[in-house]
């Protein structure tokens, strides 16, 4: 049992009185602050409660004009303008904050970061870069560097992207850095500087030995220099890196074997790929080669057997194309009609889809144009992607 003394009862009124006094102080402080706020601030709150956001924004803007000390309101309005796409108003709001001499250092950095975001949203990349570059040695350095990395990628300044990626190991993976080197290599190939291109491709493979794009570009580089056998060797390396990407080099391999006058060797290689790694793009290339080497009947049987193994609507469209090649004149009209109907559906299926954001495109991208992810497009058409277990 806890012993209880009667004198302790005297503490209860004392504690109650202290609590009442503290509450009175807080209430007086709250009333004082609310009276200091401009009337337009409360009008804005009322508009928000009545689901009139545009009128609320205008009232808050008036409140800022009446009382420039409402710093939090400046930040809130600036972010709201940026989200609404009103970047000019957002820029003005954050510039006004930066022009104030009485703004504390931490709020100055925050205003500069917000201004950089405004410029980035507006597409003013040079100004955004300048703003974030000023924050590289501040408490907001990590966010600034991430934004700078995005800017360098948008500007295709791959040297700077590689440099800052080294400071962001948790953001930019070695796979991404290898892609930056591939971008540099592709640019050097356009400038007809094969030695520099090869150096970048080797670095890309050092960073990521499974970089399919580096092997693909190295094969292209070998073709430019007249070394077709070397190109085939580079493209065959993709089977060990990621065999799903063989579909991207199948047409290149076909052309290479044609140049070497080794169609039979090319057919054997590509048929083996198709058997082990089924793909509609691979089927299309092998179909061309079989049609060229063995005739329409063999091409038709190839597509028919592949459709039995991997039934898809796109494959059925290819079957109709093959059937037309061997059909009698009286059956061609019906087959043409069936193919036109099927094509109406296959156009929506013959696309690539980003694993990261779901963006669909008719062509393959190494970097998604929607979310900016590298190697997020599987080298399969949408229908194949949906049927993958």
Q: Which residues of 157-180 are buried (b: 16+ CB within 10 A; e: fewer)?
A: bbebbbebbeeeeeebbeebbbbb
Q: Tell whether 272 is covered by a domain.
A: yes
CA 296 from centre of chain:
42
Among 24-33, 48-57, 269-278, 317-326, the range scoring the smallest mean pLDDT is 24-33
The DSSP-derived string for 179-241 is: HHHHHHHHHHHHTT-HHHHHHHHHHHHHH-TT-HHHHHHHHHHHHHTT-HHHHHHHHHTHHHH
Give the residue-averaged pLDDT of 9-24: 45
Q: Tell whether 166 is covered by a domain.
A: no
Q: Tell whether 247 is covered by a domain.
A: no
Helix or strand holding residue 361 (H, E)? strand 360-361
The reply to whether 280 and 307 lie within a common domain is yes
Q: Tell whether 289 is covered by a domain.
A: yes
Tens of pLDDT, residues 100-129: 777 788 888 988 998 999 999 999 999 999
Q: Which residues of 60-83 are buried (b: 16+ CB within 10 A; e: fewer)?
A: bbbbbeeeeebbebbbebbbbbbe
pLDDT of residue 230: 95
The reply to whether 344 and 357 lie within a common domain is no
The reply to whether 286 and 320 lie within a common domain is yes
The reply to whether 301 and 372 lie within a common domain is no
pLDDT of residue 14: 44
Q: How far is CA 377 from CA 171, 292, 339, 359, in A?
A: 19, 31, 28, 9
The larger pLDDT score, comparing residue 38 to residue 345, is at: 345
Instruction: Provide, rounded to the nearest whole percent, the portion of the chain with pLDDT above 90.
Output: 39
pLDDT of residue 294 exceeding 80 = yes
The reply to whether 358 and 343 lie within a common domain is no
pLDDT of residue 150 exceeding 80 = yes
pLDDT of residue 384: 60
The reply to whether 282 and 339 lie within a common domain is yes
The reply to whether 319 and 330 lie within a common domain is yes
Q: Tell whether 236 is covered by a domain.
A: no
pLDDT of residue 199 exceeding 90 = yes
Give the residue-averaged pLDDT of 241-266: 92
pLDDT of residue 382: 64
Q: For the chain, what is the largest distance between any 2 Cα atoms, rounded to a whole number of angstroms?
A: 114
- Taking the model in full, what pTM does it have? 0.75
Among 38-52, 172-186, 299-313, 336-350, the range scoring the smallest mean pLDDT is 38-52
Give the residue-averaged pLDDT of 196-212: 96
Domain count, the chain: 2
pLDDT of residue 206 exceeding 50 = yes
The reply to whether 328 and 366 lie within a common domain is no
pLDDT category of residue 377 using cuts at 50, 70 and 90: confident
- Taking all residues of the chain, what is their mean pLDDT, rounded to a whole number? 78
pLDDT of residue 219 exceeding 90 = yes
CA–CA gap between residue 196 and residue 382 (Å, rounded) = 37
pLDDT category of residue 163 using cuts at 50, 70 and 90: very high
Q: Tell whether 120 is covered by a domain.
A: no
The reply to whether 295 and 364 lie within a common domain is no
Q: Tell whether 287 is covered by a domain.
A: yes
Tens of pLDDT, residues 1-11: 444 444 444 44
Give the residue-averaged pLDDT of 195-208: 96
Q: What residues make up the domain containing 378?
A: 351-389
Cβ proximity of 267 and 293 under 8 Å: yes
Tens of pLDDT, residues 33-82: 444 445 544 444 444 444 445 554 454 444 444 444 566 766 777 777 78
pLDDT of residue 164: 94
Q: Tell whether 142 is covered by a domain.
A: no
pLDDT category of residue 325 using cuts at 50, 70 and 90: low
* First vs last C-alpha separation in the chain: 69
Give the residue-averaged pLDDT of 319-341: 66
The reply to whether 369 and 385 lie within a common domain is yes
pLDDT of residue 387 exceeding 90 = no
pLDDT of residue 381 exceeding 50 = yes
pLDDT of residue 256: 94
């Amino acid at each position: 049992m806890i012993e209880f003394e009667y004198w302790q009862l005297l503490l209860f009124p004392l504690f109650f009185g202290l609590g009442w006094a503290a509450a009175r102080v807080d209430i007086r402080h709250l009333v004082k602050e609310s009276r200091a706020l401009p009337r337009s601030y409360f009008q804005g709150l009322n508009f928000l409660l009545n689901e009139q956001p545009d009128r609320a924004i205008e009232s808050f803007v008036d409140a800022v004009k009446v009382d420039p000390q409402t710093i939090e309101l400046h930040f809130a309005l600036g972010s709201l303008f940026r989200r609404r796409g009103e970047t000019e108003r957002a820029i003005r709001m954050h510039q006004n904050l930066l022009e104030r001499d009485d703004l504390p250092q931490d709020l100055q950095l925050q205003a500069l970061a917000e201004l950089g975001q405004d410029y980035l949203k507006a597409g003013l990349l040079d100004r955004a870069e300048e703003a974030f570059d000023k924050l590289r040695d501040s408490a907001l350095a990590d966010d600034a560097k991430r934004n700078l990395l995005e800017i360098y990628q948008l500007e295709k300044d791959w040297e700077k992207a590689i440099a800052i990626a080294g400071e962001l190991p948790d953001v930019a993976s070695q796979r991404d850095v290898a892609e930056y080197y591939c971008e540099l290599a592709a640019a050097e190939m356009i400038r007809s500087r094969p030695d520099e291109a090869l150096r970048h491709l080797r670095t890309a493979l050092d960073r990521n030995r499974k970089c399919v794009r580096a092997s693909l570009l190295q094969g292209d580089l070998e073709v430019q220099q007249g070394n077709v056998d070397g190109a085939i060797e580079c493209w065959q390396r993709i089977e060990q890196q990621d065999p799903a990407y063989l579909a991207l080099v199948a047409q290149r391999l076909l052309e290479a074997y044609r140049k070497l006058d080794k169609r039979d060797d090319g057919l054997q290689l590509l048929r083996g790929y198709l058997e082990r790694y089924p793909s509609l793009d691979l089927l299309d290339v092998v179909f061309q080669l079989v049609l060229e080497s063995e005739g329409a009947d063999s091409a038709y049987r190839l597509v028919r057997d592949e459709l039995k193994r991997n039934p898809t609507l796109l494959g059925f469209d290819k079957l109709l194309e093959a059937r037309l090649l061997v059909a009698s004149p009286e059956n061609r009209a019906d087959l043409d009609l069936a193919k036109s109907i099927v094509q109406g559906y296959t156009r929506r299926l013959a696309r690539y889809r980003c694993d990261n954001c779901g963006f669909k495109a008719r062509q393959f991208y190494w970097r998604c144009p929607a979310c900016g992810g590298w190697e997020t497009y599987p080298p399969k058409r949408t229908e194949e992607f949906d049927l993958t277990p």
